[in-house]
């Protein structure tokens, strides 16, 4: 006799969902699944769209974590902050793993729909810029590409008026070691974050006696973790781009791979890297 298929209703699964909130209602699945509008007949355009959209969703989550981590830091909830920072690294790892799927798209696949993209490019991702800004890498030349979307522009300029997450960390470093932030260099509100010797000197004290400064040491290594994953994201991106378009110009107008290689040099927490050569 053939075995009857398992019926989850016998296990209590609710199946009469017409008058109650269901999975699809709660998550707005219909809305999300209705937002992939391919402009060509090319098979791979769907992958290209989904890859970008899912990246933007994870970026949203990353920003959610980073805003809360900064608040936790400002209000002295350091353990909560550490937990969120661990999650940020994992989100970046998730984003890194995604490249494996996109890498299956060949130049032949991409050229079938590249024309339809017009000038659109990840260069115009405001959430990506926001991530850089919240960490502390604040290149205001990147703002111009967002002038056409006032909401995004306002979000970015509002972020620039705030102290970056890294400068908050630096504040904690000075307060803990000096007992005051008097000697702390002014935060970089809207400038690129360059290594500052006073800060590097403080991190050196931490790294040379980690047992006396364990909390700061742990925090510093969390930041290095995050930046390590972030660098891998940039490297995965530029390698995928070279694989797919070689040295052609980007749809956003830049030199493409050459531009992205230059971006590999960006440092989020420079003192923590420069310090290593001194230890």
Binding region for ligand HEM (CB under 6 A):
51-52, 55, 102, 110, 121-123, 125, 128, 237, 240-241, 244-245, 250-254, 256, 259-260, 263
How far apart, in Å, are the Cα atoms of 23 and each of 15, 28, 147, 274? 11, 8, 37, 49
DSSP structure class, residue 209: T
For the CB of residue 196, give the shortest distance to ligand HEM in the complex, in Å.
23
Contact 193, 270 (CB under 8 A): yes
Residue closest to 225 by CA, chosen among 98, 99, 95, 88: 88
For the CB of residue 241, give the shortest distance to ligand HEM in the complex, in Å.
4
Other CB atoms closer than 10 Å to residue 55's CB: what's the count?
21
For the CB of residue 251, give the shortest distance to ligand HEM in the complex, in Å.
5
User: Rounded distance, CA 65 to CA 53, Å?
Assistant: 19
For the CB of residue 55, give the shortest distance to ligand HEM in the complex, in Å.
4
CB closer to ligand HEM, 99 vs 273? 99
For the CB of residue 243, give the shortest distance to ligand HEM in the complex, in Å.
8
Residue closest to 141 by CA, chosen among 223, 56, 53, 262: 262
CB closer to ligand HEM, 72 vs 92? 92
CB closer to ligand HEM, 208 vs 228? 228
Other CB atoms closer than 10 Å to residue 204's CB: what's the count?
15
User: Rounded distance, CA 162 to CA 147, Å?
Assistant: 20
CB closer to ligand HEM, 42 vs 102? 102
> Which regions of the chain does DSSP assign to beta strands (E)?
none
């Amino acid at each position: 006799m053939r075995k009857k298929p398992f019926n989850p209703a016998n296990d209590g699964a609710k199946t009469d969902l017409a008058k109650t909130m269901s999975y699809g209602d709660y998550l707005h699945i219909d809305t999300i699944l209705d937002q992939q509008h391919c402009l060509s007949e090319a098979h791979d355009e769907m992958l290209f769209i989904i890859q970008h959209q899912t990246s933007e969703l994870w970026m949203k989550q990353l920003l959610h974590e980073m805003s809360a981590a900064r608040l936790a830091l400002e209000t002295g909830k350091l353990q909560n902050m550490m937990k969120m920072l661990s999650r940020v690294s994992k989100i970046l790892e998730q984003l890194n793993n995604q490249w494996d799927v996109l890498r299956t798209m060949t130049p032949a696949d991409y050229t079938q729909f590249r024309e339809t993209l017009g000038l659109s490019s990840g260069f115009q991702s405001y959430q990506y810029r926001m991530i850089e800004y919240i960490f502390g890498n604040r290149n205001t030349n990147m703002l111009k590409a967002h002038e056409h979307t006032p909401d995004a522009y306002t979000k970015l300029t509002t972020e620039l008026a705030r102290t970056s997450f890294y400068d908050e960390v630096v504040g904690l470093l000075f307060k803990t070691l000096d007992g005051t932030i008097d000697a702390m260099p002014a935060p970089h509100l809207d400038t690129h974050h360059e290594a500052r010797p006073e800060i590097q000197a403080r991190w050196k004290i931490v790294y040379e006696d980690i047992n006396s400064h364990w909390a700061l040491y742990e925090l510093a290594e969390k930041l290095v973790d995050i930046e390590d994953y972030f660098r891998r994201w940039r490297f995965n991106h530029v390698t995928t781009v070279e694989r797919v378009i070689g040295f052609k110009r980007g749809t956003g107008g830049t030199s493409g791979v050459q531009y992205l290689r230059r971006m590999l040099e960006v440092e989020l927490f420079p003192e923590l890297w420069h310090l290593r050569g001194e230890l």
